[in-house]
Amino acid sequence: MSQLVTGDAVVLGLRPARLPSRALAVFIDLVVLWGVYLALSMAVLSAAGSLDDAATAAIAVALLLLVLVGGPVAVETLSHGRSLGKAACGLRVVREDGGPIRFRHALVRGALGFVEIQMTVGVVACIASLVSARGRRLGDVFAGTLVVRERIPVSRPVPVPPPPPWVAGHFAELDLSRVPDGLWLAVRQYLLRADQLDPQVGWSMAQRLAADVAGFTGAPAPEGMPPAVYLSGVVAERQGREAQRAFGEGIRPEAGQSGAALLPTAPGSGPGPGPVWSASPPPPSAPPVPAPSPPQPSAGGGDGGDGGDGEADGPRTGFVPPA
């Protein structure tokens, strides 16, 4: 694994390409380049057969530089470091900081590549690649580039075990922005391998990691809470915040629950110390109240019915019985 560091102090995990894959990519590129060069030479020289020897030699040198030197430079510049051979072998040319190459990088690689690969039949390039720790030839050294592998087998990420349900809501107010990524990685690796560790070793590791996390957050772990449970709860809180930041506002699942409102219940009614949080659906919203309709005038012009205020027998309907 190559330790490539960007300008933001981020370590990139890139695998440099080794000599066999690079040699195969170069062989494919040379076959294509020399095929194009021979076809163009035959076409141009047959069309300019009436010229003298000096003009023919000038045309041959121009075609040589244009195709065998300018061709790789143009292809790597336009494709951001992927020639035909590199694309077939799953390789790419990048800068030392992992970024895409530009014209100046491709120009230096192409000019030196014509000397160390084609003029010396690849002997100089092979020796330089074997001596270099990352398999770089002279063109890569002077251009500040590196050939890396793009087709890397990636394993599926293993999810961290969720914390117990009664932990939900305990760490909603913690400031997790100061905890470094290296400590998060150590906590995640511990949680994934906690079942495989010796109980005493796992307990000591959990205590040390919990103390480190509490030191960065500025708040100690709740009293009576095991350190492993504290670590799983803090990791679940961080994952919930990241998911909320990525997918927008809304109900955030916590402690293995999805879309449920977390309401406090009486202490001691759940499995574990401290306050217990249970999931219950939100109360249904009240139906909308219809707007009152205007009163209908009665035909009798009075209170209607048998007299009085008329509200004791029910609402007025505006119906007048026949005489």
Q: What is the pLDDT of residue 311?
A: 45
Q: Which DSSP category does 3 fall into?
A: E
Output b/e per residue, 62-94; b: 16+ Cβ within 10 A: ebeeebbbebbbebbbebebbbebbeebebbbb
Q: Which residues pair with 4 in a beta bridge?
A: 12
- Distance in angstroms (rounded) separating the CA atoms of residues 33 and 40: 11
DSSP string, 80-99: TS--HHHHHHTEEEEETTSP
CB 149 within 8 A of CB 15: yes
Task: Give the distance from CA 49 to its chain's centroid.
Answer: 59
Q: What is the pLDDT of residue 110?
A: 92
Cβ contacts of 61 within 8 Å, gap of 6 or more: none
Instruction: For the full predicted model, state whether its pTM sits above 0.85.
Output: no
Give the residue ranges of the chain where pLDDT is below 70: 1-13, 151-158, 248-323
149 by DSSP, 3-state: which? strand
Q: What is the pLDDT of residue 10?
A: 45
- Distance in angstroms (rounded) separating the CA atoms of residues 257 and 236: 11
Q: What is the pLDDT of residue 86?
A: 92
CB 110 within 8 A of CB 26: no
12 by DSSP, 3-state: which? strand
Q: How far is CA 118 from CA 9, 23, 27, 76, 166, in A?
A: 38, 12, 11, 17, 69
Strands 91-95 and 11-14 come out as: unpaired
- Distance in angstroms (rounded) separating the CA atoms of residues 206 and 204: 5
- Distance in angstroms (rounded) separating the CA atoms of residues 284 and 259: 15
